[in-house]
Homo-oligomer: A and B are copies of this chain.
Amino acid sequence: MVSFTDAKRVVDSALASGRLAILVGRCRVLYEGRAASKLSEGDRVLIVKSDGTFLVHQSKGMSAINYQGPGAAVATDAGEKELVVVARRKKAGGPAEKIEVHFESVAFADSFPMKDDASLRLFGSERQLSDLLMGDLHLIEPGLVPLKKESEVRKGTIDILAEDKKGNLVVIEVKRRTAELAAASQLKRYVDELSERKGRVVRGILVAPGVSASAHKMLDKAGLEFFKMDYEIGNPSARIKGLQKKQKELGEFA
């Protein structure tokens, strides 16, 4: 058991010296900001990072039950009957936010210096798959050549803009997992905008490892296409295994 004043000192000194503080104890939590929440008494882990990150974890589940992102101002108040740790934050364009953690007992409190200059190297992101695909557009369809990557249109960013052998513009949207309705709608937005701006037919191809039934139907109706893309991810690499044309030219492209 840790006294409230000791626990307060741990958090205060951690904040002052850029260390990470960990508290474990019985507490209730109040949140008010973009939404509001109450969590009654229970044992939880509180992590306070030097950048203001504030995380309350319960005994189960992956997500913090209450949290505040980098930039939060953390204050402590040790009373007779409880220790209160408060995180306040004003996000740009949003309401003021506040989390109060009321500890009725603290089982553990300590802080740790955290030297860490490393950043994650991730393999298999959509962006990386899209890059790989750029060099292999002929696998999707002979004669398909890339025009531009990550082309900005008013309605978002087109993953790959290409041209087919007939000279048609082709919008390619890549998904790293099964494409659903939202992905089909997204592709349709790009194709609609581009076709309207160019005043001619624009093809659209959704490239993903799979597609949901209703997304596929929606593509059909809109004259858009789907290509199944398989890929393998190792460490440290990602590789597109091969592209199987599952469906071709559903619409007519004069």
State the CA gap A60–B51 with chains docked (Å): 6
Q: Given A20-B59, A67-B62, A185-B182, do A214 and B155 touch, yes or no (CB 8 Å)?
A: yes
Interface string of A24-37 (1 = CB under 8 A from B): 10101011101111
Docked complex Cα distance between A88 and B59 (Å): 19
Q: Which residues on B sit within 8 Å (CB–CB) of A60?
A: 49-51, 53, 70
Residue of B nearest to A64 (CB): B62
Q: Check A20/B36 contact, CB under 8 A, given A55-B62, A114-B59.
A: no
Q: How large is the interface on A (under 10, 10 to 19, 20 to 34, 35 or more residues)?
A: 35 or more
Q: Compute how far the CA of A181 lies from the CA of B108 in the bound complex, rounded to whole angstroms.
A: 47
Within 8 A of B (CB), among A170-205: 176-177, 181-182, 185-186, 188-189
| Distance from A104 Cβ to chain B, minimum over Cβ atoms (Å) | 13
Residue from B66, B68, B188, B233 in contact with A36 in the complex, judged by beta carbons closer than 8 Å = B233
Q: Is the CB of B34 within 8 A of A124?
A: yes
Instruction: Report A117-136 residues with CB < 8 Å from chain B CB.
Output: 117-125
Cβ contacts under 8 Å, A139 to chain B: none
Contacts of A41 in B (CB 8 A): 118
B238 and A36 form a contact (CB under 8 A): yes
Q: A60-B70, A61-B70, A235-B32 are in contact. Are A47 and B45 (CB under 8 A)?
A: yes
A47 to B58: give the CA distance in the assembly, Å.
11
Complexed CA–CA distance, A136 and B191 (Å): 38
Given A35-B176, A39-B121, A44-B116, output 17 extra A-B contacts at Cβ < 8 Å: A20-B45, A20-B59, A22-B45, A30-B235, A32-B234, A36-B123, A36-B234, A37-B235, A39-B119, A40-B118, A49-B60, A49-B61, A50-B59, A50-B60, A51-B61, A55-B62, A65-B120
Q: Kindly list the 8 A-B residue pairs having the minimum CB-CB distance in the complex, ordered from nearest.
A: A42-B116, A59-B114, A35-B124, A185-B185, A36-B235, A43-B114, A36-B123, A40-B118
Give 20 A-B contacts (CB < 8 Å), ordered by A residue. Answer: A24-B112, A30-B235, A34-B233, A35-B124, A36-B122, A36-B123, A36-B234, A36-B238, A38-B121, A38-B236, A41-B118, A53-B61, A58-B114, A58-B116, A59-B114, A60-B70, A62-B69, A156-B181, A185-B189, A189-B218
